[in-house]
Amino acid sequence: MSAPTHRGAAFGVETIGMTKIFGALNALDDVSIKVRPGTLHALLGENGAGKSTLVKCMMGFYQPTRGELLVDGQEAVIRNPRDAMRLKLGMVYQHFTLVPSLTAAENLIVSRPDCPSVIDWKREIAALDAFMATMPFKVPLTTPVSGLSAGEKQKLEILKQLYLDRRFIILDEPTSVLTPDEADEMLGLLKAMTARDELTILMITHKFREVTAYADEVSVLRRGRYVGGGLVGDLSTADMARMMIGDTEIRERATRREQPSQPVALELVALHAADDEGLPAVTSVDLKVRAGEILGIAGVSGNGQSELIEVISGQRPLDDGRILVHGKPYEPVRTEMDRLKVFSLQEEPLRNSAVPRMSVAENMALRTFDKPPIASLRWWLSPAPMRARARELIDRYRVKTPSTETPIENLSGGNVQRAVLARELSGDVDVLVVANPCFGLDFASVAEIRTQIMEQRNRGAAVLLVSEDLDEILELADRVAVMSGGRITLNAPIAATDRAAIGHAMAGGH
C-alpha cells in the first residue's frame, strides 16, 4: 500500500482563529498557527496552556467553537478522527496506543482501515518487510509489543502513522520515555524525513533542548492563547521560556548550602524485588544517602525505579537485601516510619499517597491522626484539631482549596502535591524519599516543590530523589545514580559526571 518513496508528499496545516470553550473555561482563544510543509514545528507551553486542546481540535476529537483549519491550503472540516485520517493527519499520543498483547505486525495490520477479514499472514509479513526496508528505523515484527522497549514502542507508533500513509504527524511529548541517545536518534531521523519533504511534524514538547536542536519553527501557547513563535534560529531559550511562563511570579529557589559531609542516614544493601509479573525488577541495588545530601536516581521510566520506591515505602515486598536507617535495620511499617522519621513523596500522589475521596484535612492528618492533639487515648479522634492543623498547613504551603472538607481529588495536580508535601514535610524529617515530584505540574508549583526539597536537604535530611526528568536531577542532586534494567549503572558525585555519561548509563552502559 505504501509506495517506497514519498518525496514531496509533505503538506502543511494551518489553524485560523481556533477557539474552544468548555462551559465557563476558555481552553483555546483565537489561536492561529501555521505549520509549513516539510518542517518540524514545535508547540511549546505549560500544562493547561491549551496544546492538547489545539491538537485535539485538529484531529477531530473536539469540535472547535470557532475557527478554521486549512490542510494543504484547502479549508477542511474535521468532524471526527476518521475525517482527520482521511486527510492523512496522524497523531502519536504520549501514552502508547499499541495493544500490548498483539505483535508489532498485528498492531500494524489491525490499525489499517482496509484490514482484510481473513489475514493472509505470509503475504502481509512480506509486504510489511518491504515497507520496513524503506523506513529509517526498524522494529521486530513478530514479538508482542509488551516485550518491546519503550524506544521501540515509540518507533513503532511513528512507523504505524507512516504505514497508514499519514504525512502530517502530531507527536505529543515523543521523547518522554526515551533515553537521551534514543531521543536524539529518533528526532534526528524524523528531522531528516521532514527535510526530504516526506513528512511534516508538529511536536508538543517542553524540552528546550529538543526545540533548539531539531525544530525549524516554534509556536508558544499560554493560557489558551498564542503568545509568540517564529524560526527557532531567531529565538533564544530565554525568549521561549519568557513566552511560556509570562509574568507568573516564581518563588525564588532555595540555594544549595554547602555543608560538611555527614554520616550515612539511609542505606540500601543488595536490594532485590520483583515486578507485578514476578520478574526481577530491582537487582542488587546498593546505595548510601548521607544526611544533608540529595541522591538523585536518573533513568528512563520502567527500569525498576518505581519498584525500588515501592519497596522502600512498604508498598512492595522485599525479596532480598536490607534497608538501614541510621545504621539500624528498617522495616517500612507505620511505627518505624514514625520512630525513624522516614517520609515519602510519591509519584502520582492521588494513587500512592492520598485517599482521593477523603477530605483535604483527613488526608493531611494521615500521619498524625493517631497522636495527640487529634487523638486522645489513641482512638478517639477529634475533628476540630484536625481541621485547625489542616488550615495551618494550607496557609503555610499555599494549597489552593475551597475548604478543608473538600475531597482531595477535586484539587488540581499541583495542589494535591502541595497538600501531600505539607503532610510529609511538616514534621521532623530525617529521611525523605521522593519520586517524580513535579511530573505534570506548572512552573510555579515545580519551583516551589523543588525549593521545599532543597530546604529539607539544607536542614539535614537525607533525600533519595527518583526522577525521570534529568534536568531535575541535575538541578537538585548532590550525587547521581542511574538505574537501568533494575541495576545501578552509575553512581557518582554530580560534579564528577555529565549529561553524556548519565545518558550512556541510562542505556545500560557501565
Partner 1 sequence: MTDDPILTVLVAMFAGAIRVSTPFLFVSLGECLTEKSGRINLGLEGTLVFGAMSAYAVSYLTGSPWTGVLAAGLCGAGFGALHGYICKLPKVNDIAIGIAMMLFGTGLAFFFGKGFIQPTAPRLEAIDFGFLVSNPQLKVALQINPLFFIGIAAAVVLWWAFRNTRFGLVVRMTGDSSATARAMGTSVDGVRFLATTIGGFSAGIGGAFLSLYYPGSWNEGLSSGQGLMAVALVIFSRWNPIACVGAALLFGAAGALGPALQSIGVSQGYHFFNAAPHILTLAIMIASTSPKRSLKGAPGELSITR
Binding footprint of partner 1 on the chain (CB under 8 A): 80-82, 85, 93, 95, 97-102, 106, 109-111, 113, 115-119, 121, 274-278, 317
What is the closest distance, in whole angstroms, from the C-beta atom of residue 113 to partner 1 in the complex? Answer: 8
Q: Distance between CA atoms of 85 and 167, rounded to whole angstroms?
A: 10
Residue 393, classed as helix, strand or coil, is helix
For the stretch 71-110, what's the b/e string if a residue is b when 16 or more beta carbons lie within 10 angstroms of its beta carbon? Answer: bbeeebebeeeeebbebbbbbbeeebebeeeebbbbbbbe
What is the closest distance, in whole angstroms, from the C-beta atom of residue 304 to partner 1 in the complex? Answer: 15
What is the closest distance, in whole angstroms, from the C-beta atom of residue 341 to partner 1 in the complex? Answer: 29
**CA-based nearest residue to 161, from 238, 225, 81:** 81
Taking a C-beta distance cutoff of 8 angstroms, is the pair 431, 461 a contact? yes
Q: Distance between CA atoms of 187 and 173, rounded to whole angstroms?
A: 12
Residue 159 or 422 with smaller CB distance to partner 1: 159
Residue 139 or 421 with smaller CB distance to partner 1: 139
Residue 141 or 375 with smaller CB distance to partner 1: 141
What is the closest distance, in whole angstroms, from the C-beta atom of residue 243 to partner 1 in the complex? Answer: 31
Residue 166 or 288 with smaller CB distance to partner 1: 166
Residues 6+ apart with CB under 8 A from 52: 172, 204
Residue 22 or 121 with smaller CB distance to partner 1: 121
284: left (phi over 0), alpha (psi -120 to 50) or beta: left
Q: Distance between CA atoms of 120 and 52, rounded to whole angstroms?
A: 38
* Cα–Cα distance list, 363 to 35, 342, 367, 372, 420 (Å): 46, 18, 9, 16, 8
What is the closest distance, in whole angstroms, from the C-beta atom of residue 421 to partner 1 in the complex? Answer: 29
Taking a C-beta distance cutoff of 8 angstroms, is the pair 158, 96 a contact? no
What is the closest distance, in whole angstroms, from the C-beta atom of residue 362 to partner 1 in the complex? Answer: 25
Alpha-carbon Rg for the chain, nearest whole angstrom, is 25
Taking a C-beta distance cutoff of 8 angstroms, is the pair 480, 494 a contact? yes
Residue 118 or 238 with smaller CB distance to partner 1: 118
Phi, psi of 17 (to 5 degrees): 55, 40
CB-facing half-sphere around the CA of 459: CA atoms within 13 A: 16
Q: How does DSSP classify residue 61?
A: S
Residue 247 or 276 with smaller CB distance to partner 1: 276
Residue 85 or 481 with smaller CB distance to partner 1: 85
Residue 120 or 498 with smaller CB distance to partner 1: 120
* Cα–Cα distance list, 273 to 128, 297, 319, 508 (Å): 39, 17, 5, 19
Q: Distance between CA atoms of 131 and 162, rounded to whole angstroms?
A: 10
What is the closest distance, in whole angstroms, from the C-beta atom of residue 471 to partner 1 in the complex? Answer: 29
What is the closest distance, in whole angstroms, from the C-beta atom of residue 220 to partner 1 in the complex? Answer: 27
What is the closest distance, in whole angstroms, from the C-beta atom of residue 160 to partner 1 in the complex? Answer: 10
Residue 275 or 475 with smaller CB distance to partner 1: 275
Phi, psi of 68 (to 5 degrees): -125, 160
What is the closest distance, in whole angstroms, from the C-beta atom of residue 275 to partner 1 in the complex? Answer: 8
